[in-house]
Chains A and B, each alone.
Chain A
Amino acid sequence: MVGIKNLNQERIVLMISILILIAASVGLSGFLNSANLISIVRSISVLGVLALGMAIVIIGRGIDLSMVAIMAMSVAWYLNLLGLGYSDYTALTLVILGVLAVGGLNGFLVAYADVPPIFVTLASGLFVFGYVRSQLITSDAVTVPPGHWLESLGQFRAVSIPADIFIFAGLCLASFLFLRFTKWGRYVYFAGDNPVAARIAGIPVRPMLVLRYVLSALFSFIAGLLTAASLLSINTRVVNSNLLYDVVLVTVIGGIGLSGGKGGVRNVLIGAIMIGILLNAMTIAGISLLFQNLIKAVILLLAIIFDGMVNPRDEQTTQQGDL
């Protein structure tokens, strides 16, 4: 049994998730069955994919606020190109190049121009949304052309489990392997823990920074494809919604510190599962969407307050600029 002093944010969030799970299983009929559990996981797969990309950036002591814009706009542009009659191959190549370019630009400005990431990605998010919305597409929502592979992806089932769960699981595994077992993945932690020391130790800090932003942009694109596959369209207004905040929350609530160097895929999963369970339980309980947001946020607040009480931060040890 872990003592109260051993509780960290990760464990607190996990405990709360389990509590909600138990409460919902007992109190709500129809919660604890395989169909519902699948729908829980499915509901968080998009969020989870975005959070994975965000996690890689945050562990390396950065943040990417352009993810939602990249997610929505890349797919919207892709679908629009298809609608204009481009071949799937051409369209996909163009869009992936665009995504890589934006990610690369983010990384370049952060790494080589020393602009704070929060600001670079804020600006690039604005730019991506603005540019695609005004120059490349004509309406807020773009639909998937009938018969396209995205449609079949959305309908795919194996053992009654939809494809997005497999993709999410696959990406989780890939990220885990990347962070844990590859050279470049290890670099993420070194750069996040102490960028100056990493540079002096000879780690190519700047190219690796660019790599992380490129990865997060690619994850955004995948998340966008998943959205389009399940909804058969993409609505660019999602850029102005709270989705971005949810992504940051899922990433951070599971215990990945914004100061970098700490955490991993497990933390993302815990955060995502908690949000998934909570939203699902509330939906089943018939709570309106307006109140769901409120309750979700209050529970998150309680979780971080509890963490703050158990693990107080100290003036003598707090890192400067740790927001």
Chain B
Amino acid sequence: MTFNERLKVWRYNILPFHVIGEILTKRWTDSAIPFVTLIVTVVAFGTVIPHFFSLYSLQESTRQLGEFSLVVIGESVVMLGGGIDLAVGAIFALSAFAAISVFFIFAMPVWVAFLAATAAGLIFGAINGYLIGYIRLRAFLTTLVTLIIGRAFFEILIVHFSSQAQMSQVSSDIWDFIGDGTVFGFSIPVLAAILLAVITHITLTRLRLGWHILAVGGSRRSAHNAGIQVRRVVFLTYVFSGLTSGMAGFLFATRLSGAGIGTGHGLEILALTAAVVGGNSLGGGRGSVVKGLMGAIIVLVMTNGLIRLGYGTGTNQMVIGILLAIAVTIDIRWLKNRHKVLDEAYVVPVYLKMGAAQSAVPGSGTPFEFNNQLSKAKSIGLKEIEGPEDVILDRDDHLYCGTRHGEIVRFFAPDYTRSEIFAHVGGFPLGLAFDRSGNLLSCVGAMGLYSISPDRVVKRLTAETGRSLTSVIDDAILRDPNDLDIAPDGRIYFTDSTKRYNAYDWMLDSIENRATGRLLVYDPKDGSTKTLLDGYRYTNGVCMAHDNKSLFFAETWACSVHRYWLEGPRAGTAECVIRDMPGYPDNINRASDGTYWMAFLGMRTPSFDLSLQHPAMRKRMTRRLPQDEWLFPNVNTGGVVKFDENYNIIRTMSDFAGEAHPSVTSMREHKGYLFVGGILNNRVGRIKIDGADENWSAIDAYWGTTS
């Protein structure tokens, strides 16, 4: 390898640039800007302020953070539901007052004080919820007015009762513990906030109620039409916000053992700021609890940090104003352009230097030499079917093939002129195989592994495998199941060609050329699916070897065939047995004479082989040219080859004129004939093979004549 090649391998194959695109597909990346802001804020203040990270200092500052986070969680939920709650400050203050009056003035136990505080929050929240949810008033105006009412009420109360509360001699250990104590180094408010955040997060993302809130926030009318009780959901968001503010008020009361005229003043602005800085949208429907929490930390660290640095309220507010404006501006830009970045970053082609192949040009004298044999094939179902990727014949000689429209079509023996839709599966039925009891199994592109019983019942066998720990994208989902074969013990071996693209984007996968194809096994006994091999360039056809102890599978973009051993000393390992072929191999099937048929989807071209050594050029191509003009593997000339147990190519059949079968994706030998299918073709071809066993049928030969 030259230095230049090494450099290219290092640059394009080793450095994991493709991970950037994969990360960007994750929903949580829309929190990236708030997260960075959070880190910057904490680090900045942590370095400037001495003892910022000391345990005691953290415990004290997080106590207030816990209370504030509770309020912000509530506010976030209301905003997600498409509303806004400006009354949180008033609720907070009233609840704090409720706790203090119950505990200090009426000298009741702590739990009663807690109940009183949360009840106050719930009631206030319920009033807001009733007005906005059921009477359907405008949220902004309504909570603005209830805020003023609540604050006026609170001020009247505090003026009349604060001195009584201050004079009280009541004390309680529990009260003090909640206000001062820690559990495993965490203060009570922090624990409460974490607990509530986890519960709320799970509710919003997984539970029915959370979905309903998001739906209502995203589009009221759609939610209503989907049968969601919009009014009740809106009501509940405000009740929840009341509850969290009430709890925060209680914690505040235990911490300070008192409340004053300024309690909770301006809290609504801070909470709103936190929720928005975290990235929750004001229109509703977009956001999360985590975003709210990040916003809460940013806002509180900034305010408290500036105070501890000795700046007055003036500077404090000025700095917050600037930082918040910047953070939100960047966040909005980011959200707007994220998908553009994703589009730009997802396709990351790799470098590959293909080995030199034997020529397939007619007259070149190689085993691959092209001929015109396939053009003599008799057409079946011409123009009636589209895209028969695989063909198979049953015991009664009927012919089955999948189509682009998600159907499996059956042509009736003996002349194959009549046909019917045998079953509708959907997706794109690719590889086909019969199992011992005559069920037709199919790898359905974009769906999974399916079984169709003789009485046409379609059943899903598997659509997922185990998730690998190192993969960023969820590779448990089968994106492009391609071909299968069944071992005598009933286990189904099948390929999933790519992890990074859906079945319909196979062209992008070929251009990227990244090795993400897999070989998997499905065990019908326990219904489990396991990944056997990973990291091939588009795994494709699968075929049990005649010895029943190993199987062949094709690696399309690498133009190789591999053999995988199921038993014996090499069980579980694979070996590349044919490499550097001049064509892209597709399905492989057994032949009557103990050899194997293999389809060539297309033939390699010097131009595409060369482009594989120029990843940057391929990247530019996908970005700047319309799809029509992309350079991708040639699928205009293919054919069928036959190889024996010594991996020698012993026969080639092709359609050099390109009239009937330019590209071939599968072939089956059946009773002296070869049936040929092509994913881009509009027919199935049938051609007599000279010298073949006229009584040999693949299904009988493999499973035995009696079922």
Q: What is A's interface to B at a CB cutoff of 8 Å?
A: 109, 113-116, 118-120, 122-135, 240, 242, 245, 248-249, 252-253, 258, 290-291, 293-294, 296-298, 300-301, 304-305, 307-309, 312-313, 315-316, 318, 320-323
Q: Cα distance A248–B146 when bound, in Å?
A: 14
Q: Cα distance A116–B224 when bound, in Å?
A: 27
Partner among A130, A301, A304, A323 whose Cβ is within 8 Å of the Cβ of B316? A130
Q: A301-B149, A304-B137 are in contact. Are A315 and B156 (CB under 8 A)?
A: no
Interface string of B530-547 (1 = CB under 8 A from A): 000000000000000000
Could you tell me the distance in whole angstroms from the C-beta of A166 to the nearest C-beta in chain B?
A: 31
A116 touches B314 (CB 8 A): no
Residues from 279 to 317 in B contacting A, C-beta threshold 8 Å: 282-284, 311-317
B265 touches A258 (CB 8 A): no
Q: A119-B328, A134-B315, A134-B318 are in contact. Are A297 and B152 (CB under 8 A)?
A: yes
State which of B319-327, B350-358, B425-433, B605-613 sits at the interface with chain A.
B319-327
Could you tell me the distance in whole angstroms from the C-beta of A248 to the nearest C-beta in chain B?
A: 6
Is B82 engaged at the interface, CB distance under 8 Å to the other chain? Answer: yes
A245 touches B144 (CB 8 A): yes
Q: Which of A120, A134, A298, A300 is the most central at the interface, judged by chain B CB atoms within 10 Å of its CB?
A: A134
A297 touches B315 (CB 8 A): no
Q: Cα distance A248–B272 when bound, in Å?
A: 17
Can you list 19 pairs linking A and B with CB atoms under 8 Å apart?
A: A122-B273, A123-B328, A126-B318, A126-B321, A126-B324, A127-B321, A127-B322, A130-B315, A130-B320, A133-B312, A133-B317, A134-B314, A253-B141, A301-B145, A315-B220, A316-B221, A318-B220, A318-B221, A323-B138
A118 touches B282 (CB 8 A): yes
B131 touches A323 (CB 8 A): no
Partner among B82, B156, B266, B320 whose Cβ is within 8 Å of the Cβ of A321? B82
Q: Cα distance A293–B150 when bound, in Å?
A: 10
Number of A-B contacts (CB under 8 A): 158
Q: Cα distance A304–B316 when bound, in Å?
A: 37
B325 touches A124 (CB 8 A): yes
- Chain B residues closer than 8 Å to A309, beta-carbon distance: 135
Q: A109-B329, A113-B332 are in contact. Are A129 and B317 (CB under 8 A)?
A: yes
Q: Cα distance A132–B312 when bound, in Å?
A: 12
Q: Cα distance A323–B136 when bound, in Å?
A: 11
A294 touches B156 (CB 8 A): yes
The chain A residue sitting closest to B134, CB to CB, is A308
- Chain B residues closer than 8 Å to A293, beta-carbon distance: 148, 151-152, 155
Q: Cα distance A122–B336 when bound, in Å?
A: 22
Could you tell me the distance in whole angstroms from the C-beta of B271 to the nearest C-beta in chain A?
A: 12
Q: 4 more A-B contacts (CB under 8 A) besides A113-B332, A258-B140, A297-B145?
A: A114-B332, A119-B325, A128-B321, A135-B314
Q: Cα distance A298–B269 when bound, in Å?
A: 22
Could you tell me the distance in whole angstroms from the C-beta of A13 to the nearest C-beta in chain B?
A: 12
Q: Which of B146, B152, B219, B333 is the most central at the interface, judged by chain A CB atoms within 10 Å of its CB?
A: B152
B316 touches A308 (CB 8 A): no
B interface: dominant SS: helix
A297 touches B141 (CB 8 A): no
B322 touches A308 (CB 8 A): no
Could you tell me the distance in whole angstroms from the C-beta of A121 to the nearest C-beta in chain B?
A: 10
A134 touches B312 (CB 8 A): yes
- Chain B residues closer than 8 Å to A118, beta-carbon distance: 282
Is B159 engaged at the interface, CB distance under 8 Å to the other chain? Answer: yes
Q: Cα distance A131–B131 when bound, in Å?
A: 39
- Chain A residues closer than 8 Å to B315, beta-carbon distance: 130, 134-135
Q: Cα distance A296–B144 when bound, in Å?
A: 13
Q: Cα distance A47–B283 when bound, in Å?
A: 29
Partner among A115, A126, A298, A308 whose Cβ is within 8 Å of the Cβ of B320? A126
B contact residues, range:
35 or more
A320 touches B318 (CB 8 A): no
A320 touches B137 (CB 8 A): no
Is B153 engaged at the interface, CB distance under 8 Å to the other chain? Answer: yes
A123 touches B141 (CB 8 A): no
The chain A residue sitting closest to B127, CB to CB, is A301
A115 touches B325 (CB 8 A): yes
Could you tell me the distance in whole angstroms from the C-beta of B149 to the nearest C-beta in chain A?
A: 4
B314 touches A133 (CB 8 A): yes
- Chain A residues closer than 8 Å to B145, beta-carbon distance: 249, 297, 300-301, 304
Q: Which of B135, B159, B266 is the most central at the interface, judged by chain A CB atoms within 10 Å of its CB?
A: B135
Partner among A119, A240, A249, A298 whose Cβ is within 8 Å of the Cβ of B276? A119
Could you tell me the distance in whole angstroms from the C-beta of B212 to the nearest C-beta in chain A?
A: 13
Q: Cα distance A258–B531 when bound, in Å?
A: 57
A115 touches B328 (CB 8 A): yes
Is B84 engaged at the interface, CB distance under 8 Å to the other chain? Answer: yes
A304 touches B153 (CB 8 A): no
Q: A130-B313, A322-B138 are in contact. Are A315 and B322 (CB under 8 A)?
A: no
Q: Cα distance A38–B216 when bound, in Å?
A: 48
- Chain A residues closer than 8 Å to B223, beta-carbon distance: 315
A321 touches B282 (CB 8 A): yes
Q: A115-B332, A127-B325, A130-B315 are in contact. Are A316 and B320 (CB under 8 A)?
A: no
The chain B residue sitting closest to A321, CB to CB, is B283
Q: Cα distance A298–B151 when bound, in Å?
A: 12
Q: Cα distance A115–B329 when bound, in Å?
A: 6
Could you tell me the distance in whole angstroms from the C-beta of A118 to the nearest C-beta in chain B?
A: 6
B325 touches A120 (CB 8 A): yes
Q: Cα distance A313–B221 when bound, in Å?
A: 12
Partner among A123, A128, A132, A323 whose Cβ is within 8 Å of the Cβ of B140? A323
- Chain A residues closer than 8 Å to B375, beta-carbon distance: none
Residues from 139 to 171 in B contacting A, C-beta threshold 8 Å: 139-142, 144-149, 151-153, 155-156, 159
Q: Cα distance A74–B82 when bound, in Å?
A: 35
Is B230 engaged at the interface, CB distance under 8 Å to the other chain? Answer: yes
Partner among B146, B314, B319, B320 whose Cβ is within 8 Å of the Cβ of A132? B314
The chain A residue sitting closest to B273, CB to CB, is A122
8 tightest A-B contacts by CB?
Answer: A130-B318, A134-B314, A127-B321, A133-B314, A130-B317, A321-B283, A126-B321, A294-B152
Interface string of B447-480 (1 = CB under 8 A from A): 0000000000000000000000000000000000
B313 touches A133 (CB 8 A): yes
A109 touches B317 (CB 8 A): no
Could you tell me the distance in whole angstroms from the C-beta of A321 to the nearest C-beta in chain B?
A: 4
Could you tell me the distance in whole angstroms from the C-beta of A125 to the nearest C-beta in chain B?
A: 7
B282 touches A242 (CB 8 A): no
The chain B residue sitting closest to A120, CB to CB, is B325
Q: Which of B142, B276, B314, B332 is the most central at the interface, judged by chain A CB atoms within 10 Å of its CB?
A: B314
A125 touches B321 (CB 8 A): yes
Q: Cα distance A131–B156 when bound, in Å?
A: 33
B221 touches A113 (CB 8 A): no
Is B83 engaged at the interface, CB distance under 8 Å to the other chain? Answer: yes
Could you tell me the distance in whole angstroms from the C-beta of A209 to the nearest C-beta in chain B?
A: 15
Q: A122-B269, A242-B148 are in contact. Are A130 and B224 (CB under 8 A)?
A: no
A240 touches B266 (CB 8 A): yes
The chain B residue sitting closest to A291, CB to CB, is B156
Q: Cα distance A116–B336 when bound, in Å?
A: 13
Q: A132-B314, A301-B149 are in contact. Are A321 and B144 (CB under 8 A)?
A: no
Q: Cα distance A292–B152 when bound, in Å?
A: 9
Q: A134-B311, A301-B146 are in contact. Are A123 and B321 (CB under 8 A)?
A: yes
- Chain B residues closer than 8 Å to A308, beta-carbon distance: 131, 135-137
